[in-house]
Amino acid sequence: MKVAVVILNWNGKALLQQFLPSVVKFSKEATIYVADNASTDDSVPFLKTTFPSVKIIQNETNGGYAKGYNDALKNISADIFCLINSDIEVTENWLTPIIEAFKADENTAIIQPKILDFKQKTHFEYAGAAGGYIDKYGFPYCRGRIFDTLEKDLGQYNDTTDVFWASGACMFIRQQTFSQLHGFDEHFFAHMEEIDLCWRAKNSGYTINYVGNSTVFHVGGATLNAINPKKTFLNFRNSLFTLTKNVNSYLFGIILARLCLDGMAGIKFLVELKPKHTFAIIRAHFSYYKHINRLLNQRKQTKQRIKYYNRTSIVFDYFILKKKTFKSLKS
């Protein structure tokens, strides 16, 4: 099974310098690529001189995460793509259980490893933790992470199990599946595009797995952190994109409820004296309205849409019922 580990880079020389050595050291089973998104720093010359074994793909423009990977993967021949952020440290033998899981089930199209916090290695990391889910209104949550509550890794998720979405911070996907789904939706630019891709894979009948005996450590927010209003804009807008394209029924009611919930989030940001984030949500909504005809056309192209949620509202569970851990959701 031919595996390609592909790191997307944009002006990230410092991150490559810190984290690429672990990828090179512990990924003997794979060919390693850096897909450079038209960096203006000296990332590419640095790679050529310091890591001659790493193959470089130079994209002509910075199209963000979605277009960056779409453009780069066209130039790579492999059975399995591993899409991994430049701020991730991998561990010894991290690839072996992933490859074995793909070999064990031909219908498994996407896999995520355990993602722990590089800055607090005893705890799960925000972006993916132990595999993701979404509620009825499109709010994502994970085993090991609900909103800002991060669980300590006590071995409670050392399993292999079916999940709804895998984190784009470290996602393995079959080349055949990526090609069949036409890759990421480039209108997303960045954030939530992996949930949209996973949802489309689920609608196509594929399985998405979390494999807990493969571990990586993620810094998180190294390229765009949570205090940046642009991240708020992308997350809120792209969540609406994802819902509109993929919800199985009652689209109007779900979108209306989500818009109201977003409004409450905007008020919360105002109370917290974060007006830039409130305006980011408003801009996200207006951007969504501009794209709605395209989204509805994309929706028509989906032949089947599965039930996608087990929780009606993770917002209600977390903020009203005070259920802060994944295990508590089952009680």
Residue 64: per-residue pLDDT:
93
Residue 116: per-residue pLDDT:
98
Cβ neighbours of residue 91 closer than 8 Å, sequence gap 6 or more:
22, 26, 214, 215, 216, 217
Residue 222: per-residue pLDDT:
56
Residues 248, 308 contacting (CB under 8 angstroms): yes
Helical spans, DSSP H, in the chain:
13-25, 43-50, 64-73, 96-104, 175-180, 193-203, 229-246, 251-271, 275-300, 314-315, 326-329
Residue 223: per-residue pLDDT:
57
N-to-C CA span, the chain = 41
d(CA 290, CA 295): 10
d(CA 59, CA 7): 13
* Structural domains of the chain in order of their starting residue, each with its CATH number: 3-218 (3.90.550.10), 229-329 (no CATH)
Residues in the chain: 331
Residues 124, 130 contacting (CB under 8 angstroms): yes
Residue 330: per-residue pLDDT:
82
Residue 225: per-residue pLDDT:
63
Cα–Cα distances in Å, from 132 out to 125, 199, 205?
Answer: 12, 11, 18
At residue 39, what is the residue type?
S
Q: Which pTM does this prediction carry?
A: 0.96
Residue 227: per-residue pLDDT:
79
Local mean pLDDT, 10-residue blocks, the chain (331 residues):
98 98 98 98 97 98 96 98 98 98 98 98 97 97 97 98 98 98 97 97 98 96 73 97 96 98 97 97 98 97 94 96 95 65
